[in-house]
Structure 1
Amino acid sequence: MSAYEGFVAVHKYQLASIPEELWQPLFMKLGEDYLDAGNFVELHQGDIVPGYSVHTKKDVTLKKHSDIFLIDHAWTTTPKEAKQQLRDNETLLDRMESIMDIEKEELADDEEEDEVEHDDEVVKMVAEQADVSYGEAKKALEEENYEVLNAIMKLTMDEEHKKEADRLQEQVINQILASGRPQEKEEEERKEKEEAHKKRLEELLERRVERVYCQMWSYLQTYSFSVLQQDGEPKAQTAWYACDEVGSALCHSSDPSVVCVPFIFSRGASGMIPYSVMFPIKDIKAGEPLTCDLLPKNLERPIDRKAYLLAFQQRLLADEDVQKITKELVDSYKAYQTSLEATQPPKSSKITNSEESVKALLSHPAEKAKEPVKVASTTPFVCDNLKLANTKLVTDEDKADIIWRSQDFMEWDSLKEHQTINQFPNEFCLTFKQNLAALIQKTYGSPEWVPRTYNLVTQLGEVVGNYLNNEESKSDNLWILKPWNLARGIDISINRSLPELIRTHDSAVPMIAQKYLTKPCLYNGKKFDLRYIVLLRQIEPTMIACVYNMFWIRLANKKFNLDDLDDYERQFTVMNYSKYEMTQLDYKSFIYHMEKENNIKWADVQNDINQAMKDVLAAAATQPQPLGLVPDKKPGFDAFSMYGFDVMLTDDFKPKIIEVNFSPDCTRACKYDPDFVNNIISVVDSRAGDAEKGLKSFTVL
């Protein structure tokens, strides 16, 4: 096999998007790292766009598929690492400022000591008092650093006294010099100046880094790749890269003249080298701008495509009217908001909230009361804490009455009629953040007890319209970005930049954008959220749900403000899965202090929280799959589920349901309440324990 044939075999999937007649020249240029685009094109500034654009030279034309050019990647990064990389590499920072047409800020000269201006009246007064000339008075003032009395004494003292004063002064100075104090003072002043200069350099660097970070979303491109994890499963990741000066100057057009796509060149044992390749897809006349389509192919709705363009405002061609796009997006958002407000929740008699009726529904036939309940579990806190006398742990799920897994269960057809599983089919409708948002919006519209949430994959136009509407009304525009299905605070960030918000659509892990709570209720000045364990016992024929009375408070480590959005310990509350220390609060003490400090009745706040959690579950229990939990036909098994509800409070003590978590880790709950698992199992199956006793640890929703 020739080298060229090997190249084609290794890169066949990437070559599929490139005309075959360009494969050979691409192979040759890659082998020599031949960056020859500069022979054909040149950069213009302020020509068709405010920044740079790339044009064919005045004496050069390019024919369709006539050539292919390598575009170097000037920077490869991730959103989390970008700022630190810029801080650590000033050469990179300089180049990014140049590519992005950002004027470099230089450090101003250190402030010089203000010269003392001559006060004519003071000089005249000294001259008069000392009976000397104006010039002599001025000179004495300068020598005495404009200390008026010292200047007059100097001028009026006779020669004998002057000699004695000078002798004493010299003696004192010699003693001071011998003690080293002037040197100490001089060294101290030098260090102070150095520290001040260093601080000004750091502040300058941070301003430059911040400007590049804010601007980079208009220039960075992406490609996705997979990395094998320790368990052998691939994990999708996104590489964010900035092209060189030519690639970064390509303007957008929906009718482009060139294609520019990433191409990862494999050199075998030498490793992989990322490039982009550019080739003309139409004839380009001399002096014409080169344009490419910057929009992702997965954007199908016109409103989403227009929204995405606003991430590249500085690279739009003149015929793209940003104001027109903005108006269309705001109007679209307002129409969407009107439709949400018109949503009427379905009327249903399925919701049970009588504790007596719940007890009756939970009871099992008397003849089975003495049979041991076999429990199979892969969940450590269940195995370690199940102590009910009428239960037996087994390892074979086929022989179990209750199956409690901490992993997703998918073998629904294998379950028998007498078995109970700790999951409902399709409970992703609650535990995936984008699905929860869709469920709430379809059922209730836009209730006050959830933050406004958008799916960045399917609702880009709506979230950008909301952002622009907030901008027009001068409302705050802070958004928190979260992966669809990751918990424990993984990969979340706070955002106020529209381009960054839009470009998050390109992440390999799909994301939601949720309105950030800028006026949260605080505990000793710190943010907190509340974790509730909610048991959903059944959804058919009536919904039975109850919340464990004990709840957990997760507290930020630093006092809340909006000055530093990158400070995790100030903005976030999930510390037990991070490198930070976790502050633990007893819920009874928390309630006592909240009532004392805020003059409220916690029972009223708790009622609002309970109603919000009930509404969430009611939506799932009344909506058919895949939107909700209701199956097409009655399943041949029993089910229950335990969810972790994360709740925040506004500064006027109104609840916000932040998210619902699948199979929450309750190890900490078992430490606080050793009967936690026993109470749940008793409520799930009264043959295992006293359901009425177990219910005392719950409040029926």
Structure 2
Amino acid sequence: MEYNHVDHGDVLINKALLNSFIDLHRSQLELSGVPQIFYPTLFHKLQNQIFDAGEYFGIVEVENDEGDTIKRKVRVTGEHNLLKTDPSMIFLIDHAYTYRINNIRNELEQLPQLVERLSRLMLISSDEENKIDAIIENMWKFNHTYTLAVDGGNAEDREPYWYIRDEFGSAIEHSEQANIRMAPFLSMIDGQMYTLLWLIEDVECNESITVDYLCGTRDELTRRAKLVPWTDDDLAEDIDYEQIEPNEQYFNTGRESESLPSSDNYSIIDLTKVNRIINVFTDVELIRNHLLDKRFQIVENQSDADIIFTRKHFKDFKKLCEDTQQLINQFPFENVINIKDLLAVMCRRTSPAINHQTLQSYPLWLPTTFNLTYELPKFISYYQNREKKNLDNHWIVKPFNLARSIDTHVTQNLNAIIRLADSGPKVKYLETQMIITLHPK
């Protein structure tokens, strides 16, 4: 058997198993930016469930004048400096809790020990009457997220998971000059999700370790906005919340181009005058099962169809119009009205600007809408201005590309709104509430 020596406690690792591990996890490792010098140690620690960060680091509690802990930090506790070139300087961090947001209250009600653990982790007072409410209010400073891509999965499978790192991982503070990096990691060895921690700078004895909470975000204004949950920064005074017409790139980003016919001179068939059964091709199960009118029949090949009824985004209108006489249930560039954020842009084009006195947006029938990918600073400014006027600040938060209320949330918690955008592109609606008062008999 061939072995490859790894300089970490004289551990010997099977080279074939190591290479298999690397091949299986390569995309994760490269996407997260994990240096290759750490691969053997990471494999060894995952294979043997080694959580040895406590041998190098310790949690320090910072107290106020009354002796209450107000925050925690993590620093090097060993006798030696830690070097970023040391291949052993990668560590596994466990997760205290993993969940989907819509389930959290029910789960916490069934897990009192978890409630106590999270309360201590979040420094929630022991005198707090409703600790579950306090956890849900404060968890956004500790939350992290990932989504698992499932081959052949449905839309529900795309709903993100959220997780809170253990006490050690949650105590690591943010810094613009971070000396470590952290990233979620799905181990195929045991199917469990971990957080990886590795050095990106040398760290001296007794020095605190810090991480950039916004690693990969470079725009200064966006960073300022995304850090509001930890900084409580006020954007209301110096950030203009007025929404402007986005550029062409906004409409094209993440959207596939569609081809148009070279002219309007193409033949169109009038199916009402066809003296035969009309062929329909569809990938919509509802239509396949319930199109029972004898004037129509389902065909299995799209090329045989008179009508194409598909849920997939159709793009080749040029070929459809010039080479066939088929009809389809879509029209070119319909995304400007059936995708939420683009529809809002269209509707605002001929409307007046937001009223600075009342903060009313226009048109009146359109809920106030922000795209949190591009308009997060403007949204925070608008939210904080509404707060100063004591206006209602309940918002509907939802993905622009999912339906059926998947990953949709209603909240007035600004930190929640900011962090929810981490799980994918989101839009925000301010909506009039309907309150139903129930009178017991």
Settle same-fold status: TM greater than 0.5.
Answer: yes
For 2:27, the equivalent position in structure 1 comes to: 13
For 1:538, the equivalent position in structure 2 comes to: none
1:438 and 2:345 correspond: yes
1:275 and 2:275 correspond: no
**Deviations 1:206-225 (CA, angstroms, capped at 9, x unpaired):** x1111111111110112232
Amino acid at match of 1:98: R
The alpha-carbon deviation at position 282 of structure 1 amounts to 1.3
SS of the residue 1:457 aligns to: coil
1:429 and 2:330 correspond: no
Alpha-carbon distance between aligned partners in 2 of 1:304 and 1:12, rounded to the nearest angstrom: 30
For 1:332, the equivalent position in structure 2 comes to: 239
Alpha-carbon distance between aligned partners in 2 of 1:381 and 1:20, rounded to the nearest angstrom: 53
SS of the residue 2:38 aligns to: helix
For 2:147, the equivalent position in structure 1 comes to: 224
Task: Work out which of the residue numbers 296, 311, 321 in structure 2 matches 1:415.
Answer: 321
- Which consecutive unaligned segments of at least 5 residues does structure 2 have? 1-14, 246-269, 354-361
Please tell me whether the aligned partners of residues 52 and 101 of structure 1 are also in contact (alpha carbons under 8 angstroms): no
Amino acid at match of 1:83: R
Say if 1:12 and 1:393 are closer, same or farther in 2 by CA, change over 3 A: closer
The alpha-carbon deviation at position 482 of structure 1 amounts to 2.0
Say if 1:421 and 1:31 are closer, same or farther in 2 by CA, change over 3 A: closer
1:89 and 2:111 correspond: yes
1:209 and 2:132 correspond: yes
Amino acid at match of 1:452: T
For 1:517, the equivalent position in structure 2 comes to: 432
Please tell me whether the aligned partners of residues 395 and 428 of structure 2 are also in contact (alpha carbons under 8 angstroms): yes
Amino acid at match of 1:465: S
Q: How does 1:192-591 map to 2 (within 5 A)?
A: 204=129, 207-229=130-152, 235-267=157-189, 271-295=190-214, 297=216, 299=217, 301-313=219-231, 322=232, 325-327=233-235, 330-334=237-241, 336-337=242-243, 372=275, 375-377=278-280, 378=282, 379=287, 383-384=291-292, 392-393=295-296, 395=298, 403=307, 405=309, 407-408=311-312, 409-412=314-317, 413-415=319-321, 420-444=327-351, 446-508=362-424, 510-518=425-433, 520=434, 559=436
Alpha-carbon distance between aligned partners in 2 of 1:499 and 1:400, rounded to the nearest angstrom: 51
The alpha-carbon deviation at position 398 of structure 1 amounts to 6.2
Number of residues paired by the alignment?
A: 374
Q: How does 1:59-78 map to 2 (within 5 A)?
A: 59-66=79-86, 67-78=89-100
Task: Work out which of the residue numbers 35, 40, 43 in structure 1 matches 2:59.
Answer: 43
SS of the residue 1:51 aligns to: strand
Please tell me whether the aligned partners of residues 22 and 65 of structure 1 are also in contact (alpha carbons under 8 angstroms): no
The alpha-carbon deviation at position 13 of structure 1 amounts to 2.5
1:80 and 2:102 correspond: yes
Bigger radius of gyration among the two: 1
Amino acid at match of 1:27: F
Alpha-carbon distance between aligned partners in 2 of 1:56 and 1:395, rounded to the nearest angstrom: 68
Say if 1:228 and 1:422 are closer, same or farther in 2 by CA, change over 3 A: closer
Say if 1:485 and 1:374 are closer, same or farther in 2 by CA, change over 3 A: farther
1:56 and 2:72 correspond: no
Alpha-carbon distance between aligned partners in 2 of 1:258 and 1:399, rounded to the nearest angstrom: 59
**Deviations 1:459-478 (CA, angstroms, capped at 9, x unpaired):** 22222221111112221110
Amino acid at match of 2:112: E
Alpha-carbon distance between aligned partners in 2 of 1:368 and 1:80, rounded to the nearest angstrom: 47
Please tell me whether the aligned partners of residues 308 and 326 of structure 2 are also in contact (alpha carbons under 8 angstroms): no
The alpha-carbon deviation at position 236 of structure 1 amounts to 3.4
Say if 1:305 and 1:368 are closer, same or farther in 2 by CA, change over 3 A: closer
Alpha-carbon distance between aligned partners in 1 of 2:390 and 2:76, rounded to the nearest angstrom: 43
Say if 1:381 and 1:245 are closer, same or farther in 2 by CA, change over 3 A: closer
Please tell me whether the aligned partners of residues 259 and 280 of structure 1 are also in contact (alpha carbons under 8 angstroms): yes
The alpha-carbon deviation at position 97 of structure 1 amounts to 1.1
Amino acid at match of 1:307: A
Q: TM-score, normalised by structure 1?
A: 0.48
For 1:3, the equivalent position in structure 2 comes to: 17
For 2:266, the equivalent position in structure 1 comes to: none
Alpha-carbon distance between aligned partners in 2 of 1:4 and 1:284, rounded to the nearest angstrom: 28
The alpha-carbon deviation at position 511 of structure 1 amounts to 2.3
- Which consecutive unaligned segments of at least 5 residues does structure 1 have? 107-203, 314-321, 341-366, 387-391, 521-525, 527-558, 562-701
Structure 1 vs Structure 2 CA RMSD: 3.4
The alpha-carbon deviation at position 261 of structure 1 amounts to 1.3
Amino acid at match of 1:303: L
Please tell me whether the aligned partners of residues 93 and 166 of structure 2 are also in contact (alpha carbons under 8 angstroms): yes
**Deviations 1:601-653 (CA, angstroms, capped at 9, x unpaired):** xxxxxxxxxxxxxxxxxxxxxxxxxxxxxxxxxxxxxxxxxxxxxxxxxxxxx
Please tell me whether the aligned partners of residues 64 and 282 of structure 1 are also in contact (alpha carbons under 8 angstroms): yes
SS of the residue 2:150 aligns to: strand
For 1:671, the equivalent position in structure 2 comes to: none
Amino acid at match of 1:326: D
Say if 1:376 and 1:411 are closer, same or farther in 2 by CA, change over 3 A: farther
SS of the residue 2:239 aligns to: helix
Amino acid at match of 1:19: P
Alpha-carbon distance between aligned partners in 1 of 2:121 and 2:273, rounded to the nearest angstrom: 77
**Deviations 1:149-188 (CA, angstroms, capped at 9, x unpaired):** xxxxxxxxxxxxxxxxxxxxxxxxxxxxxxxxxxxxxxxx
The alpha-carbon deviation at position 498 of structure 1 amounts to 1.0
The alpha-carbon deviation at position 479 of structure 1 amounts to 0.2
Say if 1:372 and 1:506 are closer, same or farther in 2 by CA, change over 3 A: same
The alpha-carbon deviation at position 449 of structure 1 amounts to 1.7
Amino acid at match of 1:454: F
SS of the residue 1:93 aligns to: helix
Say if 1:486 and 1:234 are closer, same or farther in 2 by CA, change over 3 A: closer
Say if 1:491 and 1:69 are closer, same or farther in 2 by CA, change over 3 A: closer
Say if 1:481 and 1:296 are closer, same or farther in 2 by CA, change over 3 A: farther
The alpha-carbon deviation at position 90 of structure 1 amounts to 1.5
Alpha-carbon distance between aligned partners in 2 of 1:376 and 1:47, rounded to the nearest angstrom: 75
User: Quick check: 468-477 or 42-51, which moved more?
Assistant: 42-51
User: Quick check: 421-430 or 247-256, which moved more?
Assistant: 421-430
Say if 1:560 and 1:309 are closer, same or farther in 2 by CA, change over 3 A: farther
Amino acid at match of 2:164: A
Alpha-carbon distance between aligned partners in 2 of 1:385 and 1:405, rounded to the nearest angstrom: 16
The alpha-carbon deviation at position 63 of structure 1 amounts to 2.3
Say if 1:28 and 1:419 are closer, same or farther in 2 by CA, change over 3 A: closer
Please tell me whether the aligned partners of residues 219 and 312 of structure 1 are also in contact (alpha carbons under 8 angstroms): no
